[in-house]
Amino acid sequence: MVGFAALFLALIATGISVFSYFNAHFAQVNRPTGKVGPRGNCALYYLVSAVFIGIAAIYLLILILSNQFQYAYVFSYSAKDLPLAYKISAFWAGQEGSFLLWLVFHALFGIILSRQQAVAAGTMAAYGLVQLVLLTILLAKNPFMMLVEPRADGAGLNPLLQDPWMAIHPPLIFLGYAGLTIPFAYAMGGLLANEHRRWIEQALPWTLFAWSVLGAGIFIGGFWAYKVLGWGGYWAWDPVENSSLVPWLTAGALVHFLLIAKVRPAAVKPSCLASVFTFVLVLYGTFLTRSGILSDFSTHSFTDEGVGGLLAGMVMLVTAAALVLLIIRWPGLPAGDIYPAVKSREFMMAAGALTLAALAALVLVGMSTPLITMLLGNPQNVSAAFYNTSSLPLAALLLLFLTIAPLVAWGENRTSLLKKYWWLLAIGLAGLLLSIWFGIRDVIIMTVLSLALTALLINLGGNRRGLTWAGAITHAGVAVMIIGIIASSTHSRTEVLDFAPGQTHSVFGKKITYAGIEPAADGKGFFQSFQLETQDMVRVLTKLNWEGRPAVREPGIHRELGADLYFAPVMKDERVDGKEITLAKGEEKSEEGLTIKFSRFGMTGHDAQTMRVYALLEVAKEGRTEEVKPELAYVNGQFKPLPAKAFGDYELALYAVNTAEGKIRVAVRNLAAAAKPDAITVEISHKPLINLVWLGAAVIAFGTLWAGWNRARHIIPQREADPSGPNLAVR
């Protein structure tokens, strides 16, 4: 009860903090002198709420590390033999823990904001309201629920998640989500106070930080998919992937509108809109991925566990409140043009921001298709081709603005760009010729590559007209990543080959020999090794689950400067693996060298968490007899086989029970034969310039983080020295 009590007390303290901040805001607004009126201990109340959130998080971590499997969450995502690093990452492996991690980051940022004199009371009130929303959801999805029957060990962490990259991917995503709450809160505080100069300045470094961290999380997720999943790609336009991409794109638009607003007050309007919709899209994506709507369309969405309606209600509540305040204040927001002329830095930045927003809208429509079609009675999803085809023209447009923006200064530019920068046409032409040389004939792809090459050279060259190095590097990173995406996707080649031990094949100009199988050091898997003519070894890892069955196959990757050679074993259908037999009660059959007799079936547990159906089997081999009990466990609304082992090398899985006829269907599998096949089928792919994707992603994350640091470093002295404007700050 300690954890739940801490969350409940955090909810109360947050409510008191929000009330105090609102009271302080209205007390200050009503004072014509702008002096701070009586406001109590607003920041202290917030600090208390953050402490209780910290207690709940630490308590859950202690439960996981100390193997308290009587708690449902610990049982579901941890196990005694799980390495320490993955026990820690089990904290955020499920819905409840990931919400708590998000809440922890939110509280930490809130402590920083509450201690800054320049942060308005209205801003902290809005920030606290979001914390109330997260706490309400977490109390409904209590991570401290206990099992009816305690277990000796846990189910363990999904083998797919037992990867260093996956251990840091979710924290970065939720750190980004928490960071994007801050510009939303600043915008709400500015609208409440009807004062916008300060919040624009204050929100910019936070937005850049959140944009950088969320982008890093998305890129690491893509690298994990490429490295672990074995399907040869890094981005599948999966709705869950898109749910993070959409707010990242709108956050990019927000950054550029905030920069324009520093010199053109009329840009406050799009800045407010972008702040609101970026955060609303974070909540909407959370609703889509955790309500169960995408369970049939996404490989890594959560199933509906009773919070879908609550999440939908919270999204609508926050959206309605923000839009009502925005509509009320809209007439009083600064009016005018956000750019003085088309040939201006302001126009190029605004056009680039709108292009990012258009791309976000495109992806939003695609990822919302399952929800929309479900409401219409015919659930469907859009294919990856929809995104690939539709996004290319927008990518070309974005690269055009990235090319021109460094060449124009703030304000109106009267110089003819064509006369001054005619040599850009030569770079573009060189890009077109390179595209033709590499066999590309698609006009849009040729245009994108030409613009990407031009944008890269311009942003890394000397013609930056006041554009910071951080901004130029970020733009160059975008160009590099797009070149890598197009090159690796349009020129990727794949061969499917069968290898016997010692057999050699020539593929993509390389001789590859299958060296055979060797066990993994931890005994929980095995490697299939391939030797190249350079004597380099490439190893494909197959991880086994707790039942000894193949659970995850990680591809082997031979990396070179110009391309990757990607080895992915072809996975067979393991839904029903082994030889199937049907047995009536008392009947006896032979399969895989075993004689199997069905004695009876039964049931343990009668609730959704513990219900299991089992079959009692007598298994005989070479004069020896063992009694085994394969089970069917009720998991997420369906029965899942839990196989039982016999004689160490055999596995029997129960797949169906017919109580009316007294029959069962069982699959018999020889583990020794399955674990060490004589031959292997491998899909080998050649992926040119794939490293440019990772290089560009790293440069984007670094550039945005650098830009955020520069902005924060420059405004800290201004916060202390700038006495202008009404004093709406609260400590």
**What digits encode the pLDDT tens for the residues 75-105?**
989 999 899 999 999 999 888 999 999 999 9
| C-beta neighbour count of 296 within 10 angstroms | 11
In a domain, 417, yes or no: no
Q: Which of 127, 157, 187 is the endpoint of a domain?
A: 157
**Strands, DSSP E only, in 296-427?**
none
Residues 92 and 77 in one domain: yes
Task: From 670, 696, 724, give the residue that closes a domain.
Answer: 670
Find out whether 207 and 254 touch, Cβ atoms under 8 Å: yes
Residues 41 and 64 in one domain: yes
Which of 200, 44, 168, 61 is CA-nearest to residue 110?
A: 44
On whether the CB atoms of residues 260 and 343 are closer than 8 A, the answer is no
End-to-end CA distance of the chain: 33
pLDDT band at 490 (very low <50, low <70, confident <90, very high): confident
Whether 166 and 153 share a structural domain: no
Mean pLDDT confidence for 229-234? 70
Q: State residue 291's pLDDT score.
A: 78
Determine the pLDDT at residue 211: 96
pLDDT at residue 328, as a whole number: 94
Per-residue pLDDT reduced to its tens digit, 248-286 = 999 999 999 999 999 999 999 999 999 999 999 999 999
Q: Is the pLDDT of residue 362 over 90?
A: yes
User: Which segment of 225-239, 371-385, 597-611 scores lowest on mean pLDDT?
Assistant: 597-611
Same domain, 560 and 622: no
* Residue partners of 246: CB distance under 8 A and separation at least 6: 281, 285, 360, 363, 364, 367
Counting residues of the chain whose pLDDT is more than 90, the rounded percentage is: 47
**Residue with the larger pLDDT of the pair 535 and 78:** 78
List the one residue out of 190, 166, 692 whose CA is nearest residue 480.
692
CA 99 to chain centroid: 13
**Look-up: residue for tokens 């959801």?**
137
Q: How far apart are CA 300 and CA 285, in angstroms?
A: 13
Nearest partner of 653 among 524, 547, 543, 525, judged by Cα: 547
DSSP string, 207-243: HHHHHHHHHHHHHHHHHHIIIII-SS-S----HHHHH
Burial class from Cβ neighbours inside 10 Å (0-12, 13-18, 19+) for residue 645 reads middle
Is 325 found in the same domain as 212? yes
Q: Rounded to 5 degrees, what angle do the CA atoms 282, 214, 718 make?
A: 95
pLDDT of residue 191: 93
Residue 547's pLDDT band, with cuts at 50, 70 and 90, is: low
Mean pLDDT across 484-496: 89
Q: Name the band, by pLDDT with cuts 50, 70 and 90, for residue 573.
A: very low
When pLDDT is cut at 50, 70 and 90, the band that residue 728 belongs to is very low
Same domain, 170 and 146: no
- Identify the pLDDT of residue 549: 65
568 & 586 share domain: no
701 in a domain, yes or no?
A: no
- Provide the whole-model pTM: 0.83
Q: Which of 216-220, 314-318, 382-386, 704-708 has the highest mean pLDDT?
A: 216-220
Q: What pLDDT sits at residue 422?
A: 62
Q: What is the pLDDT confidence band of residue 167, given thresholds at 50, 70 and 90?
A: confident
The residues, any chain, with a CB within 8 Å of residue 521's CB and separated by 6 or more, are none
Q: Do strands 579-584 and 663-670 pair parallel, antiparallel, or not at all (unpaired)?
A: antiparallel
Q: What is the pLDDT of residues 407-419, one digit of tens each?
A: 887 776 666 665 6
Dig out the tokens for 155 from the structure: 């189910």
Q: Which of 342, 370, 398 is the last residue of a domain?
A: 370
Torsion of CA 211, 213, 215, 219, to 10 degrees: 180
pLDDT at 570 over 60: yes
Residues 57 and 1 in one domain: yes
What whole-number distance in Å separates Cα of residue 404 and Cα of residue 7? 51
On whether the CB atoms of residues 409 and 465 are closer than 8 A, the answer is yes
402 part of a folded domain: no
Cβ atoms < 10 Å from Cβ of 667: 20
Q: How far apart are alpha carbons 92 and 180 in whole angstroms? A: 19
- Tell me the average pLDDT across 149-177: 87
- The predicted pLDDT at position 250 comes to 98
Residues 69, 197, single domain; the answer is no
Q: In angstroms, rounded to a whole number, what is the distance separating the alpha carbons of residues 702 and 578?
A: 50
The pLDDT value given to residue 38: 42
What 3-state DSSP class applies to 54?
helix
Q: How far apart are CA 108 and CA 428, in angstroms?
A: 47
Cα separation, 79 vs 93, whole angstroms: 13
Burial 576-588 (b: 16+ CB within 10 A, else e): ebbeebebeeeee
- Rounded Cα distance between 24 and 613, Å, is 60
More confident of the two residues 477 and 602: 477
pLDDT at 718 over 80: no
Strand pairing category for 650-658 and 644-646: antiparallel
> Mean of the pLDDT values across residues 451-478?
84
Question: Which uninterrupted H or E stretch holds 556?
Answer: strand 556-559
Report d(CA 238, CA 301) in Å as an integer: 9
Is 695 part of a structural domain of the chain? no
In angstroms, the CA 511 to CA 506 distance is 4
Torsion of CA 417, 421, 422, 424, to 10 degrees: -120
Residue 327 lies in a domain: yes
Residue 295 predicted with pLDDT over 90: no
In this prediction, residue 717 carries a pLDDT of 45
Are residues 361 and 260 part of one domain?
A: yes
296 pLDDT band, cuts 50/70/90, is low
pLDDT value at 401 more than 90: yes
Confidence of residue 310 (pLDDT cuts 50, 70, 90): confident
Amino acid type, 200? I
Query: Domain range holding 597?
Result: 580-670
729, 36 contact by CB (below 8 A) = yes
pLDDT of residue 26: 84
C-beta separation of 448 from 396 below 8 A? yes
User: What distance in Å separates the CA atoms of residue 252 and residue 495, rounded to the nearest whole number?
Assistant: 39
Residues 211 and 145 in one domain: no
Query: In terms of pLDDT, which residue wins out, 391 or 723?
Result: 391
Instruction: Count the domains in the chain.
Output: 4
Could you tell me which residues come within 8 angstroms of residue 689 by beta carbon, excluding any fewer than 6 positions away? 483, 484, 487, 488, 491, 562, 563
Q: Does one domain contain both 43 and 113?
A: yes
pLDDT computed for residue 254 by the predictor: 98
More confident residue, 730 or 510: 510
- Per-residue pLDDT for 591 more than 90? no
Query: What's at 166, amino acid-wise?
Result: M
Span 242-246, average pLDDT? 94
Is the predicted pLDDT of residue 306 greater than 80, yes or no?
A: no
Token pair, residue 717, equals 């002295």
Exposure string for 431-443, b = 16+ CB within 10 A, e = fewer? bbeebeeeebeee
The SS3 call for residue 601 is strand
Tell me: the pLDDT tens digits for 595-616? 999 998 777 754 445 567 889 9
* Confidence tier at 19 by pLDDT (50, 70, 90): very high
Mean predicted lDDT score pLDDT of the chain: 85
**Is 464 part of any domain?**
no
* pLDDT in the model for residue 729: 34
Kindly give, in sequence order, each residue whose CB lies less than 8 Å from that of residue 645, ignoring residues fewer than 6 positions away: 548, 628, 651, 652, 671
Mean pLDDT, to the nearest integer, of 522-547? 83
What confidence category does residue 576 fall into, taking pLDDT thresholds of 50, 70 and 90? very low
Is 486 part of a structural domain of the chain? no
294 and 362 Cβ atoms separated by less than 8 Å: no
In a domain, 30, yes or no: yes
Quickly state the pLDDT bin for 383 (edges 50, 70, 90).
confident
Distance CA 241, CA 218 (A): 8
Q: In the beta sheet, which residues pair with residue 565?
A: 558, 686
